[in-house]
Structure formats: C-alpha cells, structure tokens
Amino acid sequence: MKSNPLRILLQTTTPERPDDWSIRSFSLLRRHLESGGAGQGWPVAVTARNREASGSGSDPVLAAIDKSDFDELWLFALDSGGGLTAEEAAAIGRFRRRGRGLVTARDHQDVGCSLCSIRGVGPANRFHSLNRETQPSRRKRDDQDTATISWPNYHSGDNGDFQKIEAAEPVHPLLHDPENRKRVLEFFPAHPHEGAVSAPPDDDSARVIAIGHSASTGRPFNLIVVFDGSADRDGKPLGRAVVHSSFHHFADYNWDPVAGAPSFVTEPVGSGMATNPQAAADIRAYVGNLARWVAPARRAQSTSQWRFPALTLEEAARKAWVHERF
C-alpha cells in the first residue's frame, strides 16, 4: 500500500437540515473511496462535511480551499441559490489554479445553481432560471410524473434502478472498465429528474463524454462533461474538472434504496441496482476512475501507474467532436 494518501473533500453547498439531503446521503461513496475504491493500491483520506457558514457568511473550509492540503474537491450542490459566496467561488477557482481536481454534481431545475458562480465549470451547468439550455425545445418538462419539478428534469429511470449510458466517441478513460480495458462502463444509477449540462462552446478543453436517454421521451441528454487542459485567463494551467447532471449518481439512495431518502421523495422506487451486479460494479468502478483522473498531476511523479495516460495525437484531434451535441 502506498503512503501519502490522496486527500478528497466531499462537501455540500447546504447546511445540515432535518429530513433533507446532506453529506450523510453520500456515506456509501465515502466508504467506497476509503476502502480502496480509487484502486491501484492508493490510499484515500476522505473528509466529508456540510456547509457551515461563519460570521462572514462564507464556509471557512471552502473559502480557504486553495490553501488546504486537499487534492480534490467533490462538491455536491444541493442548494437552490445562495449555496456559494463570491469568496468561496473565487477560492475554488484558485484551487484549480494550483492544479487540484474538481468534481461537481447538481440536480433538476435550479438545484445547485450556485455552481454558475465558479469560473470555468459554471457555464457547463444549465438551469431553469440561469444559463438556460440554448435550444428552446428543451425548455420544457421531460419528467411528467412529478408536477412540482420543472425543467430541466430528464427522467433517466426510477431511483434505485439503473440507466444504460452511451459513451461519446472517442471513449474517455473515465468510462473504461479498470478490470477490462476493452470494456466500456455501461450503467449508472437512474433518477427521475436529472439536470442539464453541456460543454461551453468557447472552451476547447471541455467535452461531453457520456449521454443518457430519457425513459419518458427517449430524448438524449448529457450526463458528464469533462475539462482537461483548461487554462485560466492569464494562461495558467488549471486542474482537471468533471461536471455531472445529478448528485443522485453518487447518493446512497440511488446505490441502495434501503438507505432511505427525505420524506419529500415520493416517486416509485426501483430495484435494478440491487439485482444487477454489473450496474453496482460499474458505478463503483467509475468512482475509482474519477478519483484517479482528477488527481493533481504531481501524483504522476509518485507512480507511473497513477495518472491516466495522455491522449494520443489522434484522440486529441477528435476529443472536441462536440460541445453541445443536443
């Protein structure tokens, strides 16, 4: 087992609230990472916390994230506005300037809209009230069952079930099965109302790597956007980043509904994740890939096996095949 663990902060944009989603909703993710889920014998030290605002209104950990020893920030945006202060968003930007990795996940309608304040990755998130999807035809409800939730709300399946994902070509390293590099990961946890993400058209470092299909309309929608090779306005290289359409890809309830959910979650519950071993294995394999892929480049100096290999010239030429496919 290698020393010098990869340090990951799992952080929400909301404080602890009764009968609501919180960092406790991601306990299976935490345990998987801590138990060797990053793979290759690399230890992972996980800190998991909810937002805790100080007297200034900012979370002291997020506001100083760029000065911390964390290698990665996995930010679960559970807010509907006001989840990040300008001070925190700026610190997250500086965190990436130090080469550190960022993972974000939001959900339907305006859940997680504070992500828009983060330079670089913010424009990849499309909401009901902010940074709307460019096609007017997409500004309407996809999930028809939960009347209280408006667009974007792509219905990939019931909580507890799995969805079959489509890997965009060329297949990104995040979607290769680490146990069989010739196999592409196929399954993700499903959710009745996922949010909308897309690659900003003016950022050549961003691309869509995975696509879902609505169980209601059959319509395709983007699941994951990656940022690789990004640079800040002054040309400073930035750490890698990955943007997800829903935090439910990582939530306990979607990995195992027995874990429970807040009482306001009333949609039907499926059992696909529990009855399909490959679906359960695929999301855990993806999490390991994710932890390794967004790790700072300095980790490559520790072991030649740690960092994913660079793109070939052919892959680099093809990787910008789409910015906003739909």
Integer Cα distance of 50 and 240 in angstroms = 23
| Cα angle for residues 192, 197, 202 (degrees, 5° grid) | 170
pLDDT at 4: 86
Integer Cα distance of 12 and 292 in angstroms = 21
User: What are the pLDDT digits (tens) for 15-62?
Assistant: 999 999 999 999 999 999 999 877 777 899 999 999 999 988 999 999
Q: Does residue 205 contact residue 294 with C-beta atoms inside 8 Å?
A: no
Integer Cα distance of 247 and 9 in angstroms = 15
- Amino acid identity of residue 135, one-letter, is Q
DSSP 231: B
Indicate the length of the chain as a whole number. 326
pLDDT tier, 88 (very low <50, low <70, confident <90, very high otherwise): very high
pLDDT at 40: 72
For the chain, list the domains and their CATH numbers.
Answer: 6-318 (3.40.50.880)
Across the chain, mean pLDDT equals 91
Q: What are the residues facing 47 on neighbouring strands?
A: 9
Integer Cα distance of 82 and 113 in angstroms = 8
Measure CA 195 to chain center.
Answer: 11
Helices (H), 3-75: 27-32, 60-63
User: What are the pLDDT digits (tens) for 145-196?
Assistant: 999 999 999 999 999 999 999 999 999 999 999 999 899 999 999 999 999 9
User: What are the pLDDT digits (tens) for 252-306?
Assistant: 999 999 999 999 999 999 999 999 999 999 999 999 999 999 999 865 444 334 4
Using the predicted structure, report yes or no on whether residue 2 has a pLDDT greater than 90.
no
